[in-house]
Copies of this chain bind each other. A is one copy, B any other.
Amino acid sequence: MSDFAFHLDRTDPATRARIGWWITPHGAVETPAFMPVGTRGTVKGIWPDQLRPLGAQMILANTYHLALRPGSEVVRDLGGLHEFMQWSGPILTDSGGFQVFSLASARKLDDDAVVFKSHLDGSLLRLTPAKAIAIQEDLGADCIMCLDECPPADGAPEVIAAAVARTTAWARRCRDAQKRTDQALFGIVQGGIDEGMRLRSASELIPLDFPGYAIGGLSVGEAPADMYRTLDFTAPALPENKPRYLMGVGRPIDLVEAVIRGIDLFDCVMPTRNGRNATAFTSRGIVKLRNQRHQRDRGPLDPECRCAACYGFSRGYLRHLFLADEMLGPMLVSLHNLAYYQQVLLGAKQAIRTGQLLAYREKIYRLSRLESELEAGEGRGNRE
């Protein structure tokens, strides 16, 4: 694992937050970092060469979706994920374990494998731990994930316990199946929102000495307070000197709350999905671009943003693009939202360096409200 190293650059004396550098075979990532999601080998609506200018350092792709189509051997024969997607920076692939949860009605699970019925053509995809690793070795990401069982948020204690046990057993089998030495294999901690379960999962996985640990099974329907509480006891149970990745989370405020609790890596579809639905995260609050109020607005989407979508294009034009169902609308607002997410973490890092992280959290909380609500609450005239 000499291709990888994790250096802690700074820890926040007031919180558990930390700033680090994670070295991978395709470059270094300053953490905490947000990874844009390219489920099927493309961040929806974005040219890959647009990602780096936003501040994105590492991206994510999905093992389950790529295994079904075009197939991991096809990606391998096309040169592996980096060449396939034309992204030369670090990439992370998940294992398919999240689909154990999200596709619960289309899979069968036992101690040996999870069998998915393809949503594309009904064919069967059988994932054993060894198979999940083999697929990810074909795909060739820098960071790969153990196959895990992600139980539902409201699972009964015995369901959660079984998932923890299976996740540990599968983690061992994944580690033993790994052949390539240029991919960092992360263990995934499960256990729902129960402290005992999470601590058991962490204590079983830590002896396996993975180069990094993910926290799975959150953002699956539980209340935000439950997620934060779970991070309160789970993150400190993980090794200090290894990266911690919170899978599939979340809203901007969730990122900041998790940074405060010691998380280093994030991914979420929210910036691109909301961008496609005409909802923008901005330094003035959340903006719904289909709203009539933007019809003749010549101002930019976010006057504090420096992304390519915030130069020149007016809110009136963006509204028009969405009402006319033109591709450029999703393209522009997805790009902006990704830029905003990078800005949120850049701001968090600056706040850590200046000891202002808790004040920064209040700012991001405030900005999770609608722009129109914030304006109504504070009187008009504060928009440029």
Contacts and interface: CB of A to CB of B under 8 A. Distances in A.
Interface of A is mostly: loop
Given A79-B314, A313-B86, A314-B84, A42 B328 contact: yes
A78 B83 CA distance: 42
A69 B323 contact: yes
Contact of A326 (B42, B74, B83, B308): B42
Interface string A56-72: 00000000010001100
A331 interface: yes
Contacts of A70: 295, 316, 319-320, 323
A326 B296 contact: no
Contacts of A331: 45, 47, 327, 331
A53 to B, nearest CB: 13
A65 to B, nearest CB: 8
Interface residues of A, number: 38
User: A44, A74, A319, A330: which has the most chain B beta carbons within 10 Å?
Assistant: A74
Contact of A69 (B65, B86, B324, B327): B324
A168 B218 CA distance: 70
A317 interface: yes
Contact of A320 (B41, B296, B330): B41
Contacts of A45: 327-328, 331
Q: Count copies of this chain in the complex.
A: 2
Contact of A312 (B40, B77, B86, B317): B86
A193 B195 CA distance: 81
B327 A74 contact: no
A369 interface: no
A322 to B, nearest CB: 11
A327 B328 contact: no
Contact of A84 (B83, B308, B317, B324): B317
B77 A327 contact: no
A119 to B, nearest CB: 12
A81 to B, nearest CB: 10
A321 to B, nearest CB: 6
Interface of A: 40-42, 44-47, 49, 65, 69-70, 74, 77-79, 83-86, 295-296, 298, 308, 312-314, 316-317, 319-321, 323-324, 326-328, 330-331
